[in-house]
Structures are given as C-alpha cells and as structure tokens.
C-alpha cells in the first residue's frame, strides 16, 4: 500500500499539475450515434452520458471522471508473447489507481499490451485514453492494442482513433480475432497494424433513424460518411474503404483480403505517421540525414528481415547496415535507424506457426522473421 501511494504521488508530481479534482463535466446531452456492428437492432434513446475526457484533461490530476468498460473486457500484459505468457490480469476499473496497479509491472519492460474483447463504445474510448495517459506518466513507450471486436459506434471509434493516433499505439488483430465494421476505423489509427485475423466491413446504419425513404436515409448518412472519409484520409487509409462500406448491406459482411488490406493502407506502417515522423526528423536533423536513414531502413528490411532470417540477429544486422551509411551521426546520435530494431517490434506471434512446430516436434526457442515483417517460431 505504501508503494502504491508513493508511486501515485510520484506520478502526480511528474505531471506538474497537482492532484486537485478536475472540473466537473458539463451535463451530458443526448446525441444520435451511428452503428458500425453487424445486425445490431436500433434502440430507444439511452440515458445521456458525459463526454469522455480528453487525454490532456486526464493528465492533469489523479481524479479521473467516472468511466465504465461496460461493453467489453480488457486485460493488461507487459509482453508480446500471449501464447507463452497469456493476456495478463483483467483490468478492474478505469480509475486512476486501478491503472496505477495494472501498469506498474510494465515499467521495467517498457511495454504494455491491452487485450480488448468487446464493442467499440464510450468505455473503449476511455480505456485507450487512460492507458496511454498512465503509460506516458510511467514512461512506458511501447503500447499495443490487441483487439477482437465486431464493431460498435462509429463516432466513438473516431474519437478513440484520434486519441490512438496521438499516443503511439501499435494495433494487432491476432489469429482467430476479428475487427469488423467500426473496429476498422480503430485499426486505421495505429502507428503500425499487424493483421492475422479477419477484417470486415459493411454499410453503416444510423441509430434511432427517422428516415422513411432512401433519400431521407441517404441525407442522414451523408454527414457521417464525410466524417469517416476525412478520418480515413488523415490516417493514411484510402477513402475507397468508405465507398466500399456503403455498397454492402448492414446484415452482410465483406472480409478484406490481405492484398486489399495492403492496398487500402490498413496493414503495416501507417503512411501518414511515417510522413509526420519524416517531417519532424527533417526539421531536427536535415534532409541528408533523413535520406540516408530511409535507405538504411530499406536495406534492413531486405537483408535482415527476409524470410528465414534469425530474428535475434536483427539488431546486429541493422547496426552493420547503418555503419555503411555514416551512422551513428554526430549531429543526431539519438536518432540512428538501428535504434528502431533494438527491441522486438510490436507484432503478434503466429498461433498457426507454433501449432505447426508442435506438430512436427520442432523446438520453439528461435524466433525467425517471415516475409512481411511478422515472425514465427522455428
């Protein structure tokens, strides 16, 4: 108990904002929502709720406005290997001290993985905001959202996605998991996306709609469609995804192929984040530095992460490649390209590959890179 309060006090002081209560939120207003989950019936207007606090508001103190994870469950782990180590302890609540207790063991590892199973709603938005806020206080740089969701409210997916985009998350859809409808908007926001499960889309449906004709329904959906297109565009995803959604009945589902996920920008690195990182680095270190850094990354991908390469040798291989291009550079010694490969990337282990290993009695103590940046055990 003494450790817990000491840690909380330290986190409060690091925030440099005191521990006073935040101002009470404004009275909540009833608002329409757009459903992004399959075959979910329209409902009567639910009791009004308060707008989830922004990450900046959460960071101001130790009193966080009440929030409840009522449409799903979350577990917190401090590593990548869910096959070997499981998904960690179930998160008991979204209050400040529950997050202190849940994330404290992750400080030494520098990694927090959130396994979320459920709908996309206000509770999910609060979850990603508050885990990121606590990870920032505890200086945990790597955040992984390991998601399994059939969808939910589009507006909340956009709110959660905008928070994810500003707080450095990698997103997994692991083998056996799904990410359907509104969940696809969450997937779009990750700095990196690794998809082994099923990603599906369909038409959005306006909750509590008053439409009595196709024309009226189209007018209702037009505004949210524009919002979805703008959201996808700012996250480096092809707006064609929004157009494709509107052609598939809400009761149906279109599973995107791996080639489509790549084509639409929903798998691998986020192009918009890459561009932003490049702009920031150019301002800091200069154009020549960035040009050489990108060349190193291309060569590392080709030489060090090819199929069959021992993943444990990746850091040394990356250092060897960067040395041929003048790195580390004295002008920006802390931004060397090899630093990106010092830790395991936030990619999930492949359950199918491990199953193959067990079937053939292969040892599972060596991690081997596979084509596309993932990894399998061999």
Is 206 inside a domain boundary?
yes
Query: How much is the pTM?
Result: 0.74
Domain shared by 139 and 249, yes or no: yes
Tell which of 270, 300, 326 closes a domain: 270
Cβ-contact 238, 263 below 8 angstroms: yes
User: What does the block give as tokens for 341?
Assistant: 């490969």
Classify 261 as helix, strand or coil.
Answer: helix
Q: Are 50 and 25 in contact (CB under 8 A)?
A: yes
In a domain, 244, yes or no: yes
Residues 264 and 332 in one domain: no
DSSP 8-state code for residue 207 = T
Domain count, the chain: 2
Please tell me the predicted confidence (pLDDT) of residue 361: 47
Question: Which pLDDT belongs to residue 372?
Answer: 34
Confidence at residue 286, expressed as pLDDT on a 0 to 100 scale: 94
Same domain, 179 and 260: yes
In a domain, 92, yes or no: yes
Same domain membership, residue 355 and residue 235: no
Are the C-beta atoms of 236 and 271 separated by less than 8 Å?
A: yes
Q: Do residues 86 and 169 both lie within one domain?
A: yes
**Model pLDDT, residue 300:** 84
Domain shared by 246 and 353, yes or no? no
Please report the DSSP string for 34-89 in residue order.
EEEETTPPP-PPPPP-PPPPPHHHHTT-S--------SEEEEEESSS-HHHH-S-E
- The CATH number covering residue 187 comes to 3.90.226.10
**Residues 119 and 214 grouped into a single domain:** yes
Question: Do the domain assignments include residue 275?
Answer: no
Q: From the centroid of its chain, how far is CA 367?
A: 24
d(CA 265, CA 256): 12
**The predicted structure's pLDDT at residue 271:** 86
Q: Look at residues 270, 305, 331 and tell me which one is the last residue of a structural domain.
A: 270
DSSP symbol at 51: P
Domain-embedded: residue 279: no
Query: Is 302 part of a structural domain of the chain?
Result: yes
Q: Which residue has the tokens 């920008």?
A: 265
Residue 76 pLDDT: 98
Domain span holding position 128: 2-22+32-39+48-270
Residue 312 in domain: yes
- What is the per-residue pLDDT for 174? 93
Residues, the chain: 378
Report yes or no on 138 lying in a domain.
yes
Indicate whether 305 and 266 sit together in one domain.
no
Region of residue 178 (left: phi > 0; alpha: psi -120 to 50; beta: else)? beta
Per-residue pLDDT of the chain (378 residues; tens, 9 = 90+): 544 645 555 555 454 444 444 444 444 444 555 566 665 555 544 455 566 655 566 556 788 888 999 899 999 999 988 988 899 999 999 999 999 999 999 999 999 999 999 999 999 999 999 999 999 999 999 999 999 999 999 999 999 999 999 999 999 999 999 999 999 999 999 998 989 999 999 988 766 677 778 888 777 778 788 999 999 999 999 999 999 998 998 889 999 999 999 999 999 888 888 888 889 999 999 999 999 999 998 888 788 866 556 656 778 888 999 999 999 999 899 888 888 766 544 556 554 444 444 444 444 333 333 333 333 333
Examine the domain organization and report whether 297 and 237 are in the same domain: no
- The answer on 114 and 63 residing in a single domain is yes
**DSSP string of 189-211?**
T-SEEEE-SEEEE---EETT---
Same domain, 236 and 324: no
Of 205, 238, 270, the position where a domain reaches its end is 270
Buried b (16+ CB within 10 A) or exposed e, 317-345: bbbebbeeeebbbeebeebbbbbbbeebb
Nearest to 371 by CA among 309, 316, 315: 309
365 and 221 housed in the same domain:
no
């Amino acid at each position: 108990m003494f450790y817990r309060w000491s840690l909380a006090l330290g986190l409060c002081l690091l925030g440099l904002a005191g521990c006073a209560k935040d101002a009470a939120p404004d009275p909540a207003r009833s608002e329409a929502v757009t459903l992004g989950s399959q075959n979910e019936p329209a409902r009567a207007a639910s009791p009004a709720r308060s707008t989830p606090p922004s990450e900046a508001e959460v960071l101001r103190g130790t009193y966080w406005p009440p929030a409840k994870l009522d449409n799903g469950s979350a577990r917190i782990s401090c590593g990548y290997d869910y096959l070997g180590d499981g998904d960690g302890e179930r998160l008991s609540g979204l209050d400040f001290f529950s997050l202190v207790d849940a994330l404290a063991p992750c400080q030494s590892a520098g990694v927090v993985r959130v396994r979320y199973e459920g709908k996309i709603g206000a509770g999910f938005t609060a979850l990603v905001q508050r885990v990121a806020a606590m990870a920032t206080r505890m200086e945990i740089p790597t955040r992984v959202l390991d998601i399994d969701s059939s969808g939910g409210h589009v507006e909340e997916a956009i709110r959660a996605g905008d928070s994810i985009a500003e707080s450095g998350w990698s997103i997994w859809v692991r083998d056996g998991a799904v990410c359907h409808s509104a969940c696809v908007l969450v997937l779009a926001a990750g700095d990196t996306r690794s998809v082994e499960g099923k990603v599906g889309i369909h038409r959005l449906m306006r909750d509590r709609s008053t439409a009595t004709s196709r024309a009226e329904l189209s007018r209702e959906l037009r505004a949210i469609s524009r919002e979805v297109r703008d959201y996808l565009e700012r996250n480096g995803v092809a707006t064609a995804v929004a157009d494709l959604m509107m052609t598939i009945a809400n009761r149906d589902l279109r599973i995107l192929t791996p080639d489509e996920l790549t084509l639409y920008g929903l798998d691998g690195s986020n192009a918009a984040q890459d561009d932003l990182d490049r702009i920031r680095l150019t301002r800091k270190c200069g154009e020549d530095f960035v040009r050489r850094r990108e060349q190193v990354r291309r060569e590392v991908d080709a030489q060090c992460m090819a199929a069959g390469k021992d993943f444990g040798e990746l850091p040394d291989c990356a250092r060897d490649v960067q040395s041929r291009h003048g790195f580390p550079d004295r002008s920006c010694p802390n931004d060397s390209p090899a630093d990106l490969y010092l830790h395991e990337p936030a990619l999930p282990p492949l359950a199918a590959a491990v199953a193959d290993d067990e079937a053939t009695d292969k040892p599972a103590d060596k991690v081997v890179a596979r084509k596309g940046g993932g990894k399998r055990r061999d």
